[in-house]
Amino acid sequence: AWARHRAGGAAEEADAPLAEPAAPAAEEDPAQALRIDAIRLELGYGLLRLATGESGQRLTEQIRGLRRSLAMELGYLLPPVRIQDNVQLPPNTYVVRLKEIEAGRAELRPTMLMAMDPKGGPIALPGERTTEPAFGLPAAWIEETLRDEAAARGYTVVDPASVLVTHLTELVRDHLAELLSFADTQKLLDELPREHQRLVADLTAAQIGTGTIQRVLQALLAERVSIRDLPTILEGIQDGAAGARGFNGLLAAVRNRLARQITDSLMGPNGYVPLVTLSAEWERAFAEAMVGPPEDRQLAMQPTRLQEFMAKVREVFDRAATMGEQPALLVSPALRPHIRAIVERFRPSTPVLSQTEVHPRARIRTVGTI
């Protein structure tokens, strides 16, 4: 996971400097007090060196890089990241807040380096044992003098700022859907090239408002599907609206339009898309558990049966991981949103595809069956 993160480019920027103490004579504007930071990074006093001087410049550049890379990858420019001190935190602790709610926290050793085994093994060097916060890998804080030895043993060695920014990156990825606001959506629509504005006008005439478009974009981002190709997404919304199959039908039409993009994003280094398929038995079990009208189908499966399904998913995907595969789960179109809702609870980063979302020219390989 760390190798993939580092290959994707440096993480990103902090747009605001470390907060200065307010002048006691100046009364705070009540409107400012009510303002919510979309993304805020709070540092204990032992970590303030990361936000000042040369270290602070490095952290800021990394956060800028994060915003750039996510914009290119997922089509959404993050709001600025506000950095401030928090004397109530333990000295070496930082907290990431998204819309004022804590999304994650961890401790750093600002004068040391973190060493990790890419294979997930223990670190056979003197140091303080810990866990890498973004991916949960076993790690150790080691002295700077051990950097070369750690590298020679094949360990990944990173500085505290990189540990923090990698954690921030993964937290933001997990919550992108929450960060995309109505105003953000309207801005994306307003900035579309002139030749695509007629499409926006047609959707408005069909009573497809900005709120509905926002909801579709949020659903895509929640599954880490890029929204950069906004014109194609709007065409998919137009297709789905014509079918009048509820929101799930609307989203399915969009994902079908994005089939080539989705398939390409899941392709492994060997040029194949690894897939885990659902057996006919489980397809039938889920189909029989669906209730409600066609435009608003709901899943009503026994809890014990759901637990059995989740155990099977864990077993098959863990086995695939030992083979070095990161597959997607392939299911029928009608079941995809419901099975995704289940898998999201315990394997949120596992893609769930319907058969119609696999591009016809994609090369696929089945690595397991549930």
pLDDT tens track, the chain, 370 positions: 565 555 444 333 455 444 444 445 556 667 676 788 999 999 999 999 888 867 667 888 889 899 999 999 999 998 999 999 999 999 999 999 999 999 999 999 999 999 999 888 889 999 999 999 998 899 999 999 999 999 999 999 999 999 999 999 999 999 999 999 999 999 999 999 999 999 999 999 988 999 999 999 999 999 999 999 999 999 999 988 887 678 888 999 999 999 999 999 999 888 999 999 999 999 999 999 999 887 778 899 999 999 999 999 999 999 998 888 999 999 999 999 999 999 999 998 899 999 999 999 999 999 999 9
Q: Which CATH superfamily is domain 267-369 in?
A: FHIPEP family, domain 4 (3.40.50.12790)
Angle at 263 between CA 258 and CA 269, to 5 degrees: 150
> Is 180-257 assigned to CATH 2.30.29?
no
Looking only at the bridges linking them, the beta strands covering 113-116 and 81-85 are unpaired
How many other C-beta atoms can be found within 10 angstroms of the C-beta atom of residue 356? 13
Contact indicator for 334, 297 with CB cutoff of 8 Å = yes
Distance CA 59, CA 13 (A): 7
Looking only at the bridges linking them, the beta strands covering 364-369 and 273-277 are parallel
Q: H or E segment at 243?
A: helix 230-243
Residue 102: what are its φ and ψ, rounded to 5°? -65, 125
Please give the CATH number for the structural domain made up of 2-176: 3.40.30.60
Contact indicator for 262, 357 with CB cutoff of 8 Å = yes
pLDDT on residue 52 = 80
Global pTM value: 0.85
Q: How far apart are the first and last CA of the chain?
A: 25
Contact indicator for 275, 327 with CB cutoff of 8 Å = yes
Tokens 């970590």 map to which residue?
47
Residue 329 forms beta bridges with which residues?
Answer: 276, 352
Give residue-wise pLDDT tens across range 8-51.
443 334 554 444 444 455 566 676 767 889 999 999 999 998 88
Domain range summary for the chain, segments of one domain joined by + = 2-176, 180-257, 267-369
Closest by CA position to 158, among listed 124, 199, 108, 204: 108
pLDDT on residue 19 = 43
Distance CA 159, CA 227 (A): 32
DSSP letter assigned to residue 12: B
Contact indicator for 141, 128 with CB cutoff of 8 Å = yes
